[in-house]
């Protein structure tokens, strides 16, 4: 619930029991922003990494990765992850955190990579087109985060 503060701004944090994204959350996460992915790392602290991602109409969040990535090994041991997406500097503060269990899928990764490259890169640039071709020439996995908890802040 949003509450006014003494400066006239409104701020709000989510109910910690939310399991799905609101229309406002989707508006933020469907922009070409980097998300910061954290996976379980056992006794070591999580090491967030910037990633491309896609929020699906089904309420999941998907990303692609190489099969031998450290995050895949960690997810095979403990299939939980979180993704935080924040509005860039210069905009009102707004972030969404999505955490949940992860499935590792062997299908659909190249199609996802193609869509995300179109979202994040100018593929008319020959260098970026070559970068995408290199990604598509390698085996990729699709990681699917099934939200158990969605938190947000908007100021």
Query: To which residue do tokens 């400066």 refer?
Result: 7
Q: Is residue 47 part of a domain?
A: yes
Q: What is the largest CA-CA distance in the chain?
A: 55
Q: Look at residues 65, 84, 86, 90 and name the one whose alpha carbon lies nearest to residue 76.
A: 65
Sign of the alpha-carbon torsion through 19, 22, 28, 29: positive
Q: Distance of CA 60 to CAs 1, 57, 63, 126, Å?
A: 24, 8, 10, 32
Q: Is residue 3 part of a domain?
A: no
Q: Model confidence at 10, in pLDDT bands (50, 70, 90)? A: very low
Q: For the whole model, what pTM was predicted?
A: 0.86
**How many domains in the chain?**
1
Q: Is residue 4 part of a domain?
A: no
Q: Model confidence at 13, in pLDDT bands (50, 70, 90)? A: low
Cβ-based neighbours of 43, under 8 Å, separated by 6 or more: none
Q: Model confidence at 72, in pLDDT bands (50, 70, 90)? A: very high
Q: pLDDT digit string (tens) for 37-59?
A: 999 876 677 789 999 999 999 99
pLDDT confidence of residue 46: 79
Long-range contacts of 48-52 (CB under 8 A, 24+ apart): 48/84, 51/83, 52/116, 52/119, 52/120
Q: Bigger pLDDT: 108 or 1?
A: 108
| Domain CATH code at residue 73 | 2.30.110.10
Please calculate the CA angle 120-123-125 and round it to the nearest 5 degrees: 115
SS3 132: helix
Where in the sequence is the domain holding 67, given as residue range(s)?
A: 9-154
Long-range contacts of 117-126 (CB under 8 A, 24+ apart): 119/32, 119/52, 119/54, 120/32, 120/52
Q: Is residue 82 part of a domain?
A: yes
């Amino acid at each position: 619930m949003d509450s006014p503060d003494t400066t006239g701004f409104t701020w709000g944090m989510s109910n910690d029991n939310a399991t799905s994204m609101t229309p406002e959350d989707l508006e933020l996460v469907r922009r070409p922003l980097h998300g910061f992915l954290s996976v379980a790392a056992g006794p070591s602290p999580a090491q967030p990494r910037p990633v491309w991602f896609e929020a699906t109409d089904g309420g999941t969040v998907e990303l692609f990765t190489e099969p031998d990535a450290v995050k895949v090994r960690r997810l095979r041991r403990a299939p939980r992850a979180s993704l935080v997406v924040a509005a860039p500097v210069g905009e009102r503060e707004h972030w969404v955190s999505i955490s949940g269990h992860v499935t590792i899928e062997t299908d659909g990764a190249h199609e996802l990579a193609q869509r995300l490259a179109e979202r994040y890169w100018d593929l008319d640039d020959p260098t970026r087109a070559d970068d995408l071709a290199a990604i598509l020439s390698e085996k990729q996995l699709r990681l699917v985060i099934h939200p158990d908890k969605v938190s947000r802040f908007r100021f």
